């Protein structure tokens, strides 16, 4: 497995995403903490949203950039439409799909159009650059999920996680 794939699905910079999510009940995933803006569910939904957008852009589907930051987080209907287990599966399957793309060196150098915020010019980047951006984004939010788990006394997960 190459390092970009490892950063998407393995233990490159932290515990693998599947381990970070492992053993979390729906109750804990939806638990709101005082002075914390998002639940674990909302953090993961946001990650899955942007991962889906990234995979769309890589496949040539020019999904629009959300008009506001709140559009990249779930609304009430999203909670009802997708259970915690379904959300985990969607995210992990998307991560696997992204990791598979890293095996195609020609594809990685392909330039893709990435729509930007309303009013900003669209960006062009290589598939590799877009996947690197996804890794950074996922790493940031996975770190938030680890912190939320720590605050809820639900860390480390059953298969272990980094504690340093």
- Residue from 1, 67, 73 nearest 44 by CA: 73
Question: Does 1.20.120.450 match the CATH number of domain 3-151?
Answer: yes
Cα–Cα distance for residue pair 73/108, rounded to 1 Å: 28
What does DSSP assign to residue 70? G
Query: pLDDT (tens digit, 9 = 90+) per residue, 41-60?
Result: 999 999 999 999 999 999 99
The predicted model scores a pTM of 0.95
Longest dimension (CA), the chain: 47
Query: pLDDT (tens digit, 9 = 90+) per residue, 49-96?
Result: 999 999 999 999 989 888 888 899 999 899 899 999 999 999 999 999
pLDDT over 70 (residue 130)? yes
- Residue from 144, 162, 148 nearest 28 by CA: 148
The larger pLDDT score, comparing residue 94 to residue 13, is at 94
- Taking CA atoms, 124 is separated from 33, 51, 91, 99, 144, in Å, by 39, 17, 25, 21, 29
């Amino acid at each position: 497995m190459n390092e970009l794939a490892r950063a998407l699905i393995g233990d490159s910079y932290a515990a693998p995403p599947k381990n970070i999510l492992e053993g979390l009940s729906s109750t804990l995933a939806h638990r709101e903490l005082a002075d914390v803006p998002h639940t674990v569910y909302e953090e993961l939904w946001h990650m899955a949203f942007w991962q889906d957008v990234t995979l769309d852009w890589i496949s040539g589907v020019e999904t629009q950039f959300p008009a506001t930051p709140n559009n990249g987080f779930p609304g009430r209907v999203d909670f009802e439409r997708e259970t915690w287990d379904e959300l985990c599966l969607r995210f992990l399957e998307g991560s696997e799909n992204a990791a598979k793309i890293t095996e195609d060196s020609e594809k990685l150098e392909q330039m893709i159009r990435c729509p930007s915020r309303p009013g900003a010019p669209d960006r062009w980047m290589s598939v590799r650059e877009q996947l690197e951006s996804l890794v950074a984004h996922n790493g940031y939010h996975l770190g938030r999920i680890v912190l939320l788990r720590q605050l809820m006394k639900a860390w480390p997960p059953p298969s272990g996680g980094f504690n340093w």
